[in-house]
Amino acid sequence: MLTLRPPVHRTVRAPLASAVADALAAPGDLASATRRAFMERAIDVALGIESAQPVPATMVGLADTIARHAYKVVDDDVTSLLCTGHTQDAVFEALVSTAMGAGLARLACGLAALEGATLEGAAEEGVGQESGAAGDGPQGGRA
Amino acid sequence: MTTSTTTAGDAPAAGAASAARKGKVVTPPMRLPTVSRSRTLKGRLLSFVIAKTGNGYVPDVVRTLLHRPDLFGKAMGEAFQDAMRRPSDWQVWELELFASFVSLENQCVF
């Protein structure tokens, strides 16, 4: 039986906000605005929003693959980016920003489902009590 | 993204063969070689200790978190710690099970 202790999902947001801020603000090869664009694009793609945030054209393919299904990334996806002149640091920053965006989108979906489940669960519990009370009648009658 | 335990200057194949002879775990190199090495002294020391205690193996996720902790690692590690280790109605093993299940669904080695 779960207690009423503050749920983790309500308090984990502050540390995550710090992680997002670090990923965007830390010095690096990519400008902060570009990293934010990668993060926002990943959120858009993961949530299925059609007009996704634009990012550098050479990195669109890899960014979208990570946002949709990161397990499909292969070595050539990364080496081809390096061959087009991107530094390893730039690619790393783009990958981190994209992965964090994709993760945030999934977290949002999970939290939305959790909120819905909590409300539905509470509603069902109320219904269950009512049906249980109603069910006592026939059973009591049979007894 | 995984990495080998070869030292700087070794050819990957020679390093892998040497590690195999010593009975160490041999894993493929990172896709971004620079991620194999932490930018911070603390990160490199942690990598060294983990490699020493892990039969030469440092998990790729650890390498990634230690590479540039100012960008991705320090705050993210604190977020992981908060989510996975703070007082909770769930046991640690249950939280780890949830995480491994999600990783499995994502086809990502946990």
The predicted pLDDT at position A131 comes to 44
Which has the closest alpha carbon to A103: B39, B83, B89? B83
Two tokens, residue A128: 């269950």
The predicted pLDDT at position B1 comes to 47
pLDDT, tens digit (0-9, with 9 covering 90-100), for A45-70: 999 988 888 999 999 999 999 999 99
Cβ–Cβ gap A93/B71 under 8 Å: yes
Mean pLDDT for all residues in chain B: 81
pLDDT, tens digit (0-9, with 9 covering 90-100), for B54-67: 888 888 889 999 99
Instruction: For an interface test with A, give the residue of B2, B3, B30, B32 to mutate (most A CBs within 10 A).
Output: B32
Share of chain A above pLDDT 70, in %: 73
The predicted pLDDT at position B21 comes to 62
Residues in contact with B69: Cβ distance below 8 Å, sequence separation at least 6, in sequence order: B38, B39, B40, B43, B77
The predicted pLDDT at position B56 comes to 85
Confidence at A88, pLDDT banded by 50, 70, 90:
very high
Residue range A33-56: average pLDDT?
92
Cα–Cα distance for residue pair A128/A40, rounded to 1 Å:
42
Two tokens, residue A78: 């990364």
HEC readout, A94-106: HHHHHHHHHHHHH
Residue A11: list chain B partners with CB under 8 A: 82, 86
The predicted pLDDT at position A18 comes to 92
Backbone φ and ψ of A75, nearest 5°: -55, -40
- What is the predicted ipTM? 0.75
The 8-class DSSP code of residue B33 comes to G
Residue range A105-119: average pLDDT?
81
The dihedral sign for the CA sequence A74, A79, A85, A91 = positive
The Cα of B19 is separated from the nearest Cα of chain A by a number of Å equal to 23
Residue A28: list chain B partners with CB under 8 A: 68, 71
The predicted pLDDT at position A124 comes to 62
Mean pLDDT for all residues in chain A: 80
Taking only the tens of pLDDT, chain B with its 110 residues reads: 443 443 334 444 555 556 556 666 665 688 999 998 999 999 999 999 999 898 888 888 899 999 999 999 999 999 999 889 988 899 999 999 999 998 898 887 66
Angstrom CA distances, A56 to A21, A34, A60, A132, B101, stand at: 21, 8, 7, 60, 34
The predicted pLDDT at position B17 comes to 57
**What is A19-56 written as a DSSP string?**
HHHHHHHS--SS-HHHHHHHHHHHHHHHHT-SSPPP--
Cβ–Cβ gap B106/A71 under 8 Å: yes
Share of chain B above pLDDT 90, in %: 45
Higher pLDDT, A114 or A74: A74
